[in-house]
Each structure stands twice: as C-alpha cells, then as structure tokens.
C-alpha cells in the first residue's frame, strides 16, 4: 500500500499549531496568575522573582512558544493571500526573520531582568 506523502507537512503544521495553542493556554494562565501575584511590586522585587530558575524558564518558554505560534499563524495567512511565488517566498522569509528577531529581543529582556544585566 502506498503512503500519501503530500499532506504530511500540512498535518505537521496543523498539529504544531494545535499543540502550541494548548501549551500557550497553560502558560498564559501562569502569566495572568503571576501578574496578579506581583501587582504593586517594584522592579527589584520582580527581578528577584524572575531571577529564580522556574519563573525565568517558564517566561522564556512562553515567549518562545508565542512567537513560534505567531509564525505558524502568519504563515497560513500568507500562503492563503499572497499569490505570486516570489512574493510568497519573500513574505515567508520576512515572517520567519521578524518572528526570530522579536523572540530574541523578548528573551534578551527576560535575561536582563532575571540576571540584572
């Protein structure tokens, strides 16, 4: 029996979107709880809290996963609405570069806060 190979990329993309969305729900609940738990605290207290391993890793995971999910979603929109292959390739490259750049900036901000740099 032959295996259909044409849809495997689309299936992986669909699964990645769903799994990242579910993980983001949990991470966003953590973020909301963390915001309410630290309302009114100054920068030094936030830095102390974020300097602990668990909050720093969870915040970094939230940022990385959010930008991964964003890149997946924007890719779908671009593939649906950009008709010219050359423009699509350029738009997909710009999407990937922008998401990576913004994720790295956000992760650098977390590291700066966590380690007091």
**Domains of the chain: residue spans and CATH:** 8-115 (1.20.1300.10)
pLDDT exceeds cutoff 50 at 5: no
Cβ atoms 17, 72 nearer than 8 A:
yes
Range 52-65 average pLDDT: 94
Nearest-10 Cα torsion for 35, 74, 7, 21: 10
For residues 50 and 56, the answer to whether their CB atoms sit within 8 Å is yes
pTM higher than 0.75 for the full model? Answer: yes
pLDDT for the residue 6: 56
Asked if 110 contacts 63 with a C-beta cutoff of 8 angstroms, the reply is yes
d(CA 95, CA 106): 16
pLDDT over threshold 90, residue 46? no
């Amino acid at each position: 029996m032959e295996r259909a190979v044409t849809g495997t990329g689309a299936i992986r993309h669909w699964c990645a979107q769903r799994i990242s969305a579910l993980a983001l729900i949990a991470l966003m609940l953590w973020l909301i709880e963390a915001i309410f738990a630290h309302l009114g605290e100054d920068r030094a207290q936030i830095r102390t809290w974020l300097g602990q391993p668990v909050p720093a890793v969870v915040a970094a995971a939230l940022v990385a996963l959010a930008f991964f999910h964003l890149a997946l979603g924007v890719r779908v929109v671009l593939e649906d609405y950009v008709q010219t292959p050359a423009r699509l390739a350029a738009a997909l490259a710009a999407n990937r570069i922008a998401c990576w750049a913004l994720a790295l900036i956000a992760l650098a901000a977390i590291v700066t806060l966590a380690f007091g740099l």
